[in-house]
Each structure stands twice: as structure tokens, then as C-alpha cells.
Amino acid sequence: MKTYDTKEAFLLTLKNTKRKMPRVPAHLREGGMDCRFGQGNKLQCPYCETPKTALQGDRTDHCDRPRSGRPRITTPAQDRYIRTSHLRDRYRMATTTARVTPGMHNPSMSAQTVRNRLREAVLGTCRPVVRQVLTRHHRQQRSLWAQTHHRWTRQDWQKVLFTDESRFFSPGVMGGFAFIVEGMSVYTEACTLERDQFRGGGSAMVWGGMSQPHRTELVVIAGNLNAVRYREVILLPHVVPFLQAHPDMALQHDIATSHTARSVRDFLQNRNVSVLPWPAKSPDLNPIEYVWDLLDRNGEG
């Protein structure tokens, strides 16, 4: 039986094995591998290499590592373009961006991919805020009214009966669209929609009045509200008896034609009803508008 010394036995064993020694990357062979242990005895390497990736050669980039799942079809530049284009045009649709933006592996991308990139950029969708069309004269009147009443206390506002009528529409009458919103920018100029028109379809008009300690009945108005109907259906049976029971209170209503008609003004003057002056197109100053908004939201739900 042939005998081998220690060196020959090691070389023969290495020759008979089919497993090859792992190839160490060049930058690790030259400069060495500066690794250290941190918390939990986890290996921390400046090259972000693990023993598995070190055996694979020089592939140290995280993007080159093999992983499961569908590959990302957009580049970082395309992600920035999607975000910028939707911030510039808040009403831009995802289908439009998907149609004009080619994918990295496909000639086109889906609209859902655009929505996913916007969601990653913390950009969501929201309905536009509808506001009144205000001219320069309207703004001046609102400012003058605010300067006149800015010293009013809570006790002064408690002596005002805020009244208004509102029209509620049946569900499904108005179609909606969404726009891109970032954080709390929902009330910026790009996220508001000016509207000065009425919606069609089935509807019902109601009238109500409220103050801090009191409220009136909710009156359903048949048809449109004109000066005669406002005087006979609203003022005579509801407003005048309420103000006679509370003589220190004043009436607030906007300057709609049905409220400012000569017959209505004479009717209120003959019954010694004090009316609070009100600027044009200022529904946001009336607290009863929040009640209408709450009723509208509950009706849509």
C-alpha cells in the first residue's frame, strides 16, 4: 500500500474534489475586507456584501441582485416625470400619462402603474373645492364687512338668527372627477374649481334658521323661492313669530332677489325686524352652511 506525506495527501484530496474554491473579488483581494460586528453580532461591511454575494464576483450593486417578482418597468427619470407632470396639471388623468410615457420593457405602461408611482410620491386624488366667483367689488365689500364686525363678541353673535335656503339634489345627478393633491394643499389655487351655475335633475329646496341657543323648523319649499313665497311661507309663519319672542335678536339673510325685493323690505320694516347687513356672495360667513354641508354628505352616503 502506497503511502503519502501530508502535502501530497492534501493535493490529492483537493484534486479529487469537484467543488471549486470561491473567487474573491479583486477589490477585496487588494485592500482587504473591512468588516466588523455590530449589535446582535451582525456582520457590517462597508461594501454591503454578504458571503453569498461575495462568492458571486464583483456584483455588489443592490439593483443587480437577483430577486423575485415583476421587474420595475419605469426608470427613476420616468418616476420624476410622472410626479412633475401631475403636479403641473392637477386634473391630468393617469391614462393620459400612461399613453405618452413608454415603459422600460414594454412599449407602454398601464394607468395603474402611474397611480402606483403617484402613491409612492405621496400624491393622492381628491375632489376639487368649489368656490364662489368673486370680483374686486365683492372682495372689497367682504373686507369692509369684516372690519365692521371684527370687534363683535360671542354675546353679540348670539343675538343673530342665521337663515338660508339650500337645494339638495338626488344621488347620481352630478358626475365627479378627481385631481392630484399633495399633503394639505387641497385649498390652493390649483386645487379649487370656480362654479357659478345650478345643477339639474331631481331636487328639493329647504329653509332653516339657527342661532347658538335656538333654531327654527326646517321648511320644505315647493318649487323655486320668489319674493311672494318667501314672505308668505317663510317670514310670516316662522321668522316674525320667532323674532317677536326674542326681540333682542336680528335677522340675517343674504342679498338674493327674493330677500331684497321691495315688498319683502317693507314687510320687515313694518314689523320692526332688524336685518343684519350682509356682503354679496359670502356663504362661507354663514354658519348654517356647515349644517347644509352635513345634510348633503349624509344624503349622499
263 and 172 share one domain: yes
Instruction: Give the mean pLDDT of 141-150.
Output: 93
The answer as to whether 92 is a domain residue is yes
158 and 276 share one domain: yes
Q: What pLDDT is attached to residue 110?
A: 87
The answer as to whether 60 is a domain residue is no
Dig out the grid coordinates for 29 from the structure: 483581494
Stretch among 172-181, 206-215, 259-268, 285-294 having the lowest mean pLDDT: 172-181
Q: What pLDDT is attached to residue 301?
A: 47
**Residue 156, pLDDT above cutoff 60:** yes
Dist. CA 217–CA 293, nearest whole Å: 18
Dig out the grid coordinates for 165 from the structure: 335656503
Average per-residue pLDDT in the chain? 76
The answer as to whether 170 is a domain residue is yes
84 and 209 share one domain: no
> pLDDT grade, residue 175 (50/70/90)?
very low
- 229/51: higher pLDDT: 229
Q: Is the full-model pTM beyond 0.85?
A: no
Q: What pLDDT is attached to residue 170?
A: 67
> pLDDT grade, residue 41 (50/70/90)?
very low
What CATH code is carried by the domain that includes residue 167? 3.30.420.10
Instruction: Give the mean pLDDT of 78-91.
Output: 88
Instruction: Give the mean pLDDT of 276-290.
Output: 89
116 and 158 share one domain: no
DSSP 3-state of 277:
coil
The answer as to whether 249 is a domain residue is yes
> pLDDT grade, residue 103 (50/70/90)?
confident
Stretch among 69-78, 188-197, 248-257 having the lowest mean pLDDT: 188-197
> pLDDT grade, residue 254 (50/70/90)?
very high
The answer as to whether 268 is a domain residue is yes
Q: What pLDDT is attached to residue 49?
A: 46
Instruction: Give the mean pLDDT of 242-263.
Output: 94
Q: Please classify residue 211 by burial: count the beta carbons closer than 10 Å to its beta carbon, then call 0-12 exposed, 13-18 middle and 19+ buried.
A: buried
> pLDDT grade, residue 36 (50/70/90)?
very low
The answer as to whether 173 is a domain residue is yes
The answer as to whether 140 is a domain residue is no
283 and 165 share one domain: yes
108 and 223 share one domain: no
**Residue 267, pLDDT above cutoff 70:** yes
High-pLDDT (> 70) share of the chain, %? 65
Q: What pLDDT is attached to residue 249?
A: 94
High-pLDDT (> 90) share of the chain, %? 34
Q: Please classify residue 300 by burial: count the beta carbons closer than 10 Å to its beta carbon, then call 0-12 exposed, 13-18 middle and 19+ buried.
A: exposed
199 and 258 share one domain: yes
158 and 295 share one domain: yes
Name the phi and psi angles at 15, rounded to 5: -70, -35
102 and 236 share one domain: no
Q: What pLDDT is attached to residue 151?
A: 93
| Residue 236 backbone class (left: φ over 0; alpha: ψ -120 to 50; beta: rest) | alpha
**Residue entry with cell 370656480:** 194
165 Cβ contact list (under 8 Å, min separation 6): 205, 206, 207, 208, 221, 225
**Residue 178, pLDDT above cutoff 80:** no
113 and 216 share one domain: no
The answer as to whether 137 is a domain residue is no
Q: Please classify residue 256 by burial: count the beta carbons closer than 10 Å to its beta carbon, then call 0-12 exposed, 13-18 middle and 19+ buried.
A: middle
DSSP 3-state of 164:
strand
Q: Please classify residue 170 by burial: count the beta carbons closer than 10 Å to its beta carbon, then call 0-12 exposed, 13-18 middle and 19+ buried.
A: exposed
201 and 109 share one domain: no
Name the phi and psi angles at 52, rounded to 5: -70, -45
Report whether 201 contacts 173 (CB < 8 A). Answer: yes
110 and 192 share one domain: no
Q: How many domains does one find in the chain? A: 2
Give the total residue count for the chain. 301
Domain that holds residue 221: 154-177+185-300
Q: Alpha-carbon Rg of the chain, whole angstroms? A: 37
Instruction: Give the mean pLDDT of 269-282.
Output: 92
